[in-house]
Amino acid sequence: MKNFYTLIVAIVFSVALQAQTTVDFTESEGYVQGPLNDNANWGGANWIVYPAAGTERAETTGGYSWARWAEPFVVSGTEITFDVHFKFNVDIPSGKLVSRFGFNDGGANSGNVANIQLSTLNDGILTVRAQNNLPVSSGNAALADFQQDDLIISTVLTLGADAASSTISAKLVNVTDNITSEIAVIDGISAAVFGAATTGGVSGFIHAQDNLGGTRGFLVDKVVMTQGNTLSVKSYARPTFSLSQNPVDDIVQLTGLDKGSYISIYSITGAKASSHTYNGNSLNVGHLNTGVYFLETPGFAAKKLLKR
């Protein structure tokens, strides 16, 4: 009986190993110095591999440069996790869209993606955002301490009944200082990625965004794809505040906020439209053009505002 249980443990351990694929960009893995897309299973421009012992990494200094780990991974079950171990070797200023991480449908070039974005926003804090630098659907993942430290971002694709009910969730880890963020969740993914996840397979996707004068070094020293969810099962849903009416014309009353709360209003494109310090009175938004906006205040879930 003891041997039987030992066999079961060995089988489970073997399956666990098979469920995880890791790339460290080493010579033993077959990587050679030069453009990343010269190596098998990778696509993308402006990424260079340094595989020699002690310097194993892929790196880019160019903005708007993407790298696609083209090995297809079909999701077994409902969840798959893409971990990227990375760092920036120069300080990143505030107000920058820094990078995107997520899943690709295996198409040519960058293809269709389901992803999160990292932005330093106006406060300089590295924060997980939705596409177009918009607020996430729930939760919060951010690091105030991250400059030139070793970081990990874990991005989980969770499949629902369809693309709209599926999610992308993420957390950040500062390995250097042993700091782990909470978890951010984005509702809904690309239909193409949803289909690929259960058929031909999805790929890992990394994208350097804002070009900081060619001085930024974006280093990736490991990527890991794991079947299942490696994030904490704990859900981080932030409290919310309320609007007296929505849509609004010029005046809106807010409830659930303390006096002195700092409010930022962003357009649907992610541009900051205005900022306010809440004094308990109604908020005048008459200066805004007709459209969709998001109200953000630290510690609370963002609220959508429809301006007539």
In the prediction, which pLDDT does 7 show? 35
Question: In this structure, are 253 and 295 located in the same domain?
Answer: yes
pLDDT at 12: 37
- Domain span at residue 290 reads 242-307
Is 234 inside a domain boundary? no
Residue 162 and residue 179: Cα distance in Å, rounded? 34
pLDDT at 302: 73
Per the structure, the count of domains in the chain is 2
pLDDT attached to residue 211: 65
- In the predicted model, residues of the chain with pLDDT beneath 70 are 1-18, 107-110, 211-216, 232-239, 269-270, 298-299, 301
Clarify whether residues 156 and 291 are in a common domain.
no
Does any domain span residue 9?
Answer: no
CATH value at residue 127: 2.60.120.200
Taking residue 77's Cβ as centre, other Cβ atoms within 10 Å add up to: 11
Q: What is the pLDDT of residue 238?
A: 52
Is 137 within a domain? yes
Q: Where a domain ends, among 167, 193, 227?
A: 227
CB 88 within 8 A of CB 38: no
Residues shown for the chain: 308
Are 32 and 175 members of one domain?
Answer: yes
The answer to whether residue 181 is domain-embedded is yes
- Work out whether strand 151-158 and strand 179-180 pair parallel, antiparallel, or are unpaired: unpaired
Q: For 117-167, write each residue's pLDDT tens digit.
A: 999 988 899 999 998 899 999 999 999 999 989 999 999 999 998 999 999
Same domain, 53 and 174: yes
For residue 2, tell me if it sits in a domain: no
pTM, whole model, 2 decimals? 0.72
Does residue 237 form part of some domain?
A: no
Beta bridge partners of 242: 255
Q: Which residues pair with 174 in a beta bridge?
A: 151, 179
> Which of the listed residues 194, 227, 260 is the one where a domain comes to its end?
227
Strands 218-227 and 57-60 come out as: antiparallel
Structure tokens, 258? 């303390």
| Of 179, 187, 204, 247, the residue nearest 110 (C-alpha) | 204
